[in-house]
Amino acid sequence: MQLEVRNINTFYGLSHILFDVSLDVDQGEVVVLLGRNGAGKTTTMRSIMGLTPPKSGRVIFKGKDVTGLAPFRVARLGMGFVPEDRRIFPDLTVHANLEVGHKGSGGKTNKWNYDRIYGFFPRLDELSNRRGGTLSGGEQQMLTIARTLIGDPDLILLDEPSEGLAPIVVKMLGGFIDTMKREGVTILLSEQNVKFALKHSDRAYIVDNGHIKYQGSVAELEKDEDIKKRYLAV
């Protein structure tokens, strides 16, 4: 297993958000967390990344216990986090945004260099001298993924990437996810757009009120009308 999450409990101040959440992500998989707004998807991702460390439980990444580690250390171990609200540094150019995400090769050769990234997202190449703050929503989404990708992560946490994007851009995004998967990047996705999520994932977890309510392959979930109706309002 590349990522093992074992019984984590996470709090915001006094309010208990995650209850004994456990999940696994295997090398090369695309796994999706489904659930409505406020169910605990983002908190799960933040807990894994160390941004909101869990009070109890463990997060094991590539065999290493990373619970309670500072986010930048987790990132340097090869985990990438793409936040829901994108967080493009508005004063920096597109290229400078990428530079921030670039960790330097540190001995090993980078799989993702600027040329490959720009080849992958040609639109960003055209915009490379524009300030991040002036990009459209879809362009920002590309940049935020590119910025994480250039740090050469083995696992990317993608938090609600389709939110607020036009259908055509969502479609393009799906293409990127498929390509990243082909390149061997493991992806943990969180989504509200069930149709989109199921189309691009191998396995799914359903989070509700901070509990994992369901887990299984996408094919199984597709057939389970009861679960879909109960938790996903589909």
Q: Which residues bind other proteins (CB under 8 A)?
A: 14-15, 36-39, 49, 51, 70-72, 75-76, 80-81, 83, 87, 89-92, 96-97, 99-101, 103, 137, 147-148, 151, 163-164, 167, 195, 208-209, 230-231, 233-234
Nearer to other proteins, 89 or 114 (CB): 89
Nearer to other proteins, 38 or 184 (CB): 38
As measured in angstroms, the least distance from the Cβ of 52 to other proteins is: 10
Of 60, 57, 66, 34, residue with least CA distance to 159 = 34
Rg (CA), the chain: 17
- The 3-class SS string of the chain reads CCEEEEEEEEEECCEEEEEEEEEEECCCCEEEEECCCCCCHHHHHHHHHCCCCCCEEEEEECCEECCCCCHHHHHHCCEEEECCCCCCCCCCEHHHHHHHHCCCCCCCCCCCCHHHHHHHCHHHHHCCCCEHHHCCHHHHHHHHHHHHHCCCCCEEEEECCCCCCCHHHHHHHHHHHHHHHHCCCEEEEEECCHHHHHHHCCEEEEEECCEEEEEEEHHHHHHCHHHHHHHHCC
As measured in angstroms, the least distance from the Cβ of 87 to other proteins is: 4
- The token duo for 9 is 């409990």
As measured in angstroms, the least distance from the Cβ of 118 to other proteins is: 18
Nearer to other proteins, 108 or 182 (CB): 108
As measured in angstroms, the least distance from the Cβ of 214 to other proteins is: 14
Nearer to other proteins, 112 or 231 (CB): 231
Nearer to other proteins, 12 or 179 (CB): 12
As measured in angstroms, the least distance from the Cβ of 77 to other proteins is: 9
Nearer to other proteins, 182 or 190 (CB): 190
As measured in angstroms, the least distance from the Cβ of 203 to other proteins is: 22
